[in-house]
Amino acid sequence: MRKAWSIVTVVASLGGGFGAGIWGESPSDSAGSLPTEVAVTFRGRSSSLNERSDSEAFARAFGILAFANFAGARERLDELLVAHKRLPEMRMYSDPLESERILEEIERILSLASETELVDFITSRKFDYRSYSIADIAYGALARHSPKRAADLWLVERGRTEDPAGLFPVLGEWVKQDPAAADAWVGAIPDENAKGRAREAFLCHLAGSNPQAVIARLDEIDPENGNGVAMVLGAMVAPASLPGLADRFLESRPGGGFVLTAFLDAWGEREPEAMLAWVLAQDSEAISADVLKGSLGAVAFADPARFLDTISTRLPSNPALLECAARSWWAWLGQDGGEVAAIQWLGENGGLVLGFERTFGFEVYMDSDSWDGEKTQRLLAALAELPDSPAKSSISERMLVGLSRKSPELILGYALERLPLGPQTDMMIAQALGNWASEAPETAVRWSLDHLENEGARLQALRWSIARWGEKDGQSAADFSMSLPERERNAALWELGSAWARKQPEETIGYLSSASDPAAVSSMSKAAFREFAENKGAAEYFDKALAMPPGRMQHDAVRGLFGGWALSEKDAAAAAIERVPAGSLQDASILGFNEYAAREDPRKAMELAGQISVPAAREKELIFRARGWLKQNRNEAQAAIRSHPSLTEAMKEEIFK
C-alpha cells in the first residue's frame, strides 16, 4: 500500500515534531472554538467535561485525570515532563509508543493554557534535542492563539538559547491563517541563518496548501536545505507538472543534490514508472550517484524483477545504477518466495552483477522472522544449479556468511560440499562459524575440529569461534582450549585472551594468575595484556603486569603489555621501559615494544635492542631489526647501521650479506 501523501505525512517524514496532528487541523478548530473545559487523560482521550457522566472518583479509580484549566494540570504536566526526560534515549526511537503517549497528554494539557501561560512555559526552560517535540507542541499551541506572537517569541528565544525547535508548527498555523503576513515576517528577519530556516519552513507549508505559489518562487528554495519543500511539491503537484519541475531542480544544482533526491522520492511514491522513466532519460553524468541511490529506493524495492529488467542494459556504464540494482536484487532475494527467481536471474545476468556483494542490503532481509530454514534450503538448491562464475562466487560468500546466523549447519554443509578450496572459502567458513558460535559456541568449535581437514581453515575457524565463546563464557572456553593439541591450543588461547580481556578483564587476570602451567597459556597472557594496553589504558595495567606470578607468566604479561602500549601510545611506552626492572623483564618489554613499533620508528627499535641484557638475544634482535629497516628504507638504514655502537663487524656483515 502506498502512502497517502499530505502535508502532515511529509512533515512527519521530515521530523517536524509530534504536534503534526494539530498543524493539520482546519482554522475552525483553532483556539477560538476550543471547549471551555477539556478532559485530559493519560490514555490520550478527551471529551467535554459537560458530556461526561462518570464522577471524578470513578475517573481516578481508572487512572483518568480530568482538569478544568491549565493551573490545575500543572502538577500533572511536571510529572509528564520528568517522565519524558527519563525515557532512555534509544527507547524513544526504537519503541516510540511510550514517548508518544506522554507527548499526547502534554499536548492536551498545553491546549488548556492561555497565551500568557504558554509564553511563561516556553521562556522558563531550555529545550534540547530530546525535548524538541515538546517545544513544537508548546509553540504550536501558542500559535493557535497568536501566530505572530509565537513567531516573535521563537526569534527571541532562539537568540537566547540557540534552540531551533518550535518554528515549523508556528509557520504552519500562520500559513493557514494569513500566509501573506507570515511571508512578510520571514522577509523581515535580520539574522540570515534564522531567515533561511524560516523561509524553508514557510515554503514547505505553503507548498502543502498552494503548490503553484511555491513553483512561482522556485528560485527561493535553498538547494542545500530545501529538501522538505521539494518533497512536499513532489507529493502535491499535479502529475503533468512533475517532469518539468524535476528538470528545474536538476538545473538548480550540479548533480541535483538533496533537493532533487527528495523531490524524486516523493514523485516515485506516486508514479514510480514515470519517475524512473524521467531518471533514465537523463544523461548518466547529469545526475549524481547520491541522487540516484537516494531516489530510486521505493521503485527498486516495490517490484525488483521489473526494475532490474528495466535498467539491466544500463548497468555496465553506470556504477551508481549498479548499486541501486544490487539493493533491489537483495530485496528480491529476501521476498517470500522470491529467492529462486532472484537466483535464476543471477545466473542469466552474471556478467552484470559483479559488485553486488559489496552493497549493503541482504542482512536486512535475512534477519526477518519470515526467513526460515525452508527458505534457506530453496535458496541453496537454486544456487547449486547455477554454473560456477565469478558473480556466483562473490555473492555466495556474502550471502552464506549472513545466512549462517539463521541456519549454520545448512550453510557450512553447503560450503564444504560445493565451494572450491582456497583462502576465500576458508574465510567464509570461519565467519560462518563465528556467527554460529555467537549462539552455540561449544557446538561451533567442535564442528570446526571435526569437519575441517585443512589445517589453515581449521585454525582460522577455531580463532573466530573461540573468540565468540570467550565473550560469553571465558572460563569454559579456556578450559576447552587447554584440551587441544599445542598448535590449536595456542591459536585458540591467543584469540581468547583478547576477547575475554575485552569483556571481563579481572576474570581474565584471575584465570592467568592461577594457571598451573604458565607456558601453556603463554599466547593468552600476551594477547590479554596487549588488549589491556591498547584499549583499556596501559598505565593502569602496568603494575598488574608486574604483579603477575614470577617467571614465564610475568614475562609474557610484560611483553604483551608493551606491545599494546606501542600501538596506543608509542612515546609513553618507550619512556616506561626504563621503569621496568632491569634484566629479563626489561628485555621482555623491549621485545614487546619492538614487535609493534619497529616499522614506525626503526631507529628507536635499534636503540632499544642494543639494551637487551642477554647477549644472544640482543644480537638476534639487532640483526632482525636492522634487516627490517633495510627493507623498509635502505638509504636511511645503511648509514645508521654501519655506525651503530652495539653492532660488531661480524654482525654488520651478517646484516648486509
pLDDT tens-digit series, residues 379-421: 899 988 888 887 777 777 778 877 887 888 888 888 888 887 7
Q: What is the pTM of this model?
A: 0.60
In this model, does residue 444 exceed pLDDT 90? no
Which pairs count as long-range contacts for 297-301, CB under 8 Å and 24+ apart, including other chains?
297/265, 297/324, 297/327, 298/265, 298/268, 298/269, 298/272, 299/268, 299/272, 299/273, 299/275, 300/324, 300/325, 300/327, 300/328, 300/331, 301/327, 301/328, 301/331
pLDDT of residue 18: 31
Distance of CA 273 to the CA centre of its chain: 31
Q: What is the DSSP string of 107-175?
A: HHHHTT--HHHHHHHHHT----GGGHHHHHHHHHHHHHH-HHHHHHHHHHHHHHH---TTHHHHHHHHH
Q: Judge whether 392 and 412 are in contact, CB under 8 Å.
A: no
Cα Dmax for the chain: 107
Q: What is the DSSP string of 53-116?
A: -S-HHHHHHTT---BSSHHHHHHHHHHHHHHHHHS-HHHHHHSTHHHHHHHHHHHHHHTT--HH
Distance of CA 32 to the CA centre of its chain: 46
Neighbouring CB atoms inside 10 A of 583's CB total 10
Arithmetic mean of pLDDT over the chain: 83
Mean pLDDT computed over 471-487: 92
The model's confidence at residue 247, banded by pLDDT at 50, 70 and 90, is: very high
* Residue that wins the pLDDT comparison between 448 and 6: 448
Nearest by Cα to 246 from 294, 193, 282: 282
Residues in the chain: 657
In this model, does residue 374 exceed pLDDT 50? yes
Mean pLDDT computed over 422-447: 83
Mean pLDDT computed over 589-618: 95
115-156 pLDDT, tens digit per residue, is 999 999 999 988 888 889 999 999 999 999 999 999 999 999
The whole-angstrom separation of Cα 121 and Cα 563 is 58
DSSP code for 286: T
Query: Measured at the alpha carbon of residue 21, what is the angle toward residues 17 and 24, in degrees to the nearest 5?
Result: 110
Which segments of 271-372 does DSSP mark as H helices, in order?
272-281, 289-295, 297-302, 304-311, 319-334, 339-348, 362-366
In this model, does residue 77 exceed pLDDT 70? yes
pLDDT of residue 435: 80
Half-sphere exposure of 216 (CA within 13 A, CB side): 5
pLDDT of residue 365: 64
* Residue that wins the pLDDT comparison between 272 and 7: 272
Half-sphere exposure of 529 (CA within 13 A, CB side): 36
